[in-house]
């Protein structure tokens, strides 16, 4: 059997804040999340975040290696949250959707 490619869902971002994010990525990030990013002063993505966005958002295994403070955590969080915002809410018992491991002492504080 051939695997069918899933269509990427996009969202209506006509009332989204003006962020310096590539249109291809902005069309995937829900307006609600873009507003939260804007409220927290996150106006753009770092190169590593933009380059890894699609791969992470699609749920593909991804490893980022970069110095502490270079934005790796957000590189994972933004695409994963974007995915979760668009998923239908199940009527089942609450269950974990995203698990974040923080092995370094700097991130675990």
Per-residue pLDDT of the chain (109 residues; tens, 9 = 90+): 555 555 555 555 567 788 899 899 999 999 999 999 999 999 999 988 998 998 888 888 888 888 888 888 889 889 988 888 877 766 677 777 677 676 666 665 5
pLDDT number for residue 4: 58
pTM above 0.75, yes or no: no
Q: Scanning the structure block, which residue is given the tokens 């966005």?
A: 53
pLDDT number for residue 68: 80
pLDDT number for residue 40: 92
Torsion sign (Cα): 63, 67, 71, 77? positive
Report which DSSP code applies to 41: T
Torsion sign (Cα): 64, 69, 70, 73? positive
Interatomic CA distance for residues 76 and 65, integer angstroms: 12
């Amino acid at each position: 059997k051939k695997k069918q490619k899933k269509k990427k869902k996009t969202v209506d971002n006509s009332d989204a804040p003006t962020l310096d994010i590539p249109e291809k990525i902005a069309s995937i990030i829900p307006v609600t999340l873009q507003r939260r990013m804007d409220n927290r002063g996150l106006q753009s993505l770092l190169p590593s975040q933009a380059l890894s966005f699609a791969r992470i958002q699609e749920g593909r295994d991804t490893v980022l290696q970069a110095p502490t403070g270079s934005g790796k955590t957000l590189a994972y969080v933004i695409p994963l949250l974007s995915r979760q915002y668009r998923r239908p809410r199940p009527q089942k018992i609450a269950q974990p959707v995203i698990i974040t491991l923080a092995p370094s002492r700097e991130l675990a504080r």
